[in-house]
Amino acid sequence: MIESARYEALMSRRSEIMKQSVGIDYSQYETGVIAFDYEKLFVDTGYDVNTAREIQSNTAVGNTPLIELKNITALARVAASPGKGARVFIKDEAANPSGSFKDRRASLSVHEAKRKNFTGVVAATSGNYGAAVASQAAKAGLRCIVVQEAFDSQGTAQPEIAEKTRACEAYGAEVIRLSVGPELFYVFLHVLEETGYFNASLYTPYSVLGIETLGYELALQMQKQSHVFPDVVIATHAGGGNVTGTSRGLRKAGAVDTQVIAASVDLSGLHMASDHDFNRKSFTTGHTGFSMPFTTWPDRVDVPRNAARALRYMDRFVTVTQGEVFYITQILAELEGLQRGPAGNTSLAAAFAIAQELDEEKIIVVQETEYTGAGKHPFAQLNLAKQMGVTVRRGDPNDNKPGQRIVIPEHPSQIKVTDVELDRVRRSYLHHAIESLGEGGHLSDIDIDFLAAETRSSKTYVQEVINGLR
């Protein structure tokens, strides 16, 4: 247990530690009580999309292939009504150095750390991002520490997290493995203060700008291959950076009419900070345990403000079940000869269902894949689920119950998406915004404009919701 006085003392220095470890004075971008100038924050980094692409190319990041999944498209058309079944493509980000799109995020953060003469970088993550930071730090000659929330109080670790521990250590990083709970952020702050290393957070502008190249590149590749921009791009959604960066990159490439759909695994009912629930989820990212709270209030992060603002950029938000993702993972391997990890396959499961809604000439792009390995393979995850008392069976995915039952479809036609009601998400966001004001807080016109942009709504909508809440 963390001694209370030490914990409070460190937390009281949180803002100063963060400012020193990122090198950004976030206060200069505050334009109101809540309002914040994110565009100026991005511009002031000095990195535009072409500069970012050049930096990434120097460490073999990016320029990944765009692959048409012809056999999966054909299967979707068998399940669809006549004339329906959009063409499905994937951006194969597994081709990046550490095997995921997270290399794009890490590349700019590590470059910035090197530019500012930091001797090392620190990242708090249990997933692919740790390996990406470790890989990029190794190339830059910087030290790297990864802080992981790795296991429950019984010492049981998810195989996917253990896989990432091995990957981080293979790249020369030091990995600090912790049990689930509040100690993660405390230890992270302590390491930053003690080492003076750069905070390679997932939520800095550098991280989001690194993903812009993915959306930008995807749009240009599709235009070159098919002479059109994609009709739909589906991004697996967790903390918001994937959706935010991809959408911004698409717009910068001119794909302003492309619909951006966020997709998450439905883990409703499970609490991510619960010792009991921690190992009863079979996905470490891309699930509603992250995507819902981060969409309704993004700033619950390890920097003063989260540069990822998913609600600004998503046109639609859907969920799929765990069993459907495991099923599409096997389909991808057996029909397309591509064995890939679970995160990107969340979007692929959604794409398979949404393709059946659209006409055959439409184009859907799943904007990322990730590598697979022993710990990421469905068998490893399902074996742990069984060990934790979760039932695994074939049947109707509608019978799925997170933490209790994983139901794997018996037929491709059973793969469906469930839409998240965005109006409910917007109202929840505005509720959190009002809560953050405290007693007697007052919103100016600038704040109302900001909240309208944050929720992709209007000033009238924002004012009506706020009046209702008050």
Domain end among 177, 201, 225: 201
What band does 405 get if pLDDT is binned at 50, 70 and 90? very high
The b-or-e profile of 188-197 (16+ CB within 10 A means b, else e) is bbbbbbebeb
- The DSSP H or E segment spanning 449 is helix 445-454
Same structural domain for residues 346 and 447?
no
| CATH code for the domain in which residue 146 is found | 3.40.50.1100
Same structural domain for residues 261 and 346?
yes
Mean pLDDT score across all residues of the chain: 95
Same structural domain for residues 215 and 255?
yes
In a domain, 41, yes or no: no
In a domain, 265, yes or no: yes
Same structural domain for residues 81 and 115?
no
Q: Cβ atoms within 10 A of the Cβ of 182, count?
A: 11
In a domain, 39, yes or no: no
| pLDDT, tens digit (0-9, with 9 covering 90-100), for 4-47 | 788 889 888 988 998 899 999 999 999 999 999 999 999 999 99
In a domain, 312, yes or no: yes
Same structural domain for residues 162 and 307?
no
In a domain, 357, yes or no: yes
Q: What is the pLDDT of residue 440?
A: 67
Same structural domain for residues 179 and 140?
yes
**Stretch 40-66: mean pLDDT:** 97
| pLDDT, tens digit (0-9, with 9 covering 90-100), for 423-453 | 999 999 999 999 998 776 789 999 999 999 9
Beta carbons of 288 and 264 less than 8 angstroms apart: yes
What band does 2 get if pLDDT is binned at 50, 70 and 90? low
Task: Indicate whether 319 pLDDT > 80.
Answer: yes
Give the CA dihedral 381, 385, 386, 388, nearest 10 degrees: 140
**Stretch 114-128: mean pLDDT:** 95
- The pairs formed by 295-298 with CB atoms below 8 angstroms and a separation of 24 or more are 295/237, 295/240, 295/262, 295/425, 295/429, 296/425, 296/428, 296/429, 296/431, 296/432, 297/428, 297/429, 297/432, 297/433, 298/203, 298/239, 298/240
pTM of the model as a whole: 0.96
Burial group, residue 411, by CB count within 10 angstroms (0-12, 13-18, 19+): exposed
| pLDDT, tens digit (0-9, with 9 covering 90-100), for 141-170 | 999 999 999 999 999 999 999 999 999 999
- Tell me how many domains the chain contains: 3
Same structural domain for residues 385 and 459?
no
Same structural domain for residues 126 and 213?
no
Domain end among 201, 222, 243: 201
**Stretch 201-229: mean pLDDT:** 97
**Percentage of the chain surpassing pLDDT 70?**
99
Q: How far is residue 199's CA from residue 110's CA, in Å, rounded to a whole number?
A: 9
Question: Could you tell me the CA-to-CA distances from 316 to 90, 294, 393 in Å, in that order?
Answer: 19, 15, 30
Same structural domain for residues 301 and 284?
yes
What band does 272 get if pLDDT is binned at 50, 70 and 90? confident
Kindly report which listed range (114-118, 375-379, 460-464) carries the lowest average pLDDT score.
Answer: 375-379
**Stretch 73-83: mean pLDDT:** 97
In a domain, 43, yes or no: no
What band does 469 get if pLDDT is binned at 50, 70 and 90? confident
Q: What is the pLDDT of residue 385?
A: 95
| pLDDT, tens digit (0-9, with 9 covering 90-100), for 357-400 | 999 999 999 999 999 988 999 999 999 999 999 999 999 999 99
Q: What is the pLDDT of residue 5?
A: 81
Phi, psi of 233 (to 5 degrees): -120, 130
Same structural domain for residues 365 and 329?
yes
Same structural domain for residues 226 and 184?
no
Task: Indicate whether 117 pLDDT > 70.
Answer: yes
Domain end among 142, 167, 201: 201
Task: Indicate whether 1 pLDDT > 60.
Answer: no
Beta carbons of 212 and 248 less than 8 angstroms apart: yes
Beta carbons of 147 and 187 less than 8 angstroms apart: yes
The residue segments making up the domain with residue 119 are 4-21+100-201
Same structural domain for residues 109 and 81?
no
Kindly report which listed range (89-93, 193-197, 298-302, 411-415) carries the lowest average pLDDT score.
Answer: 298-302
In a domain, 35, yes or no: no
**Stretch 229-237: mean pLDDT:** 98
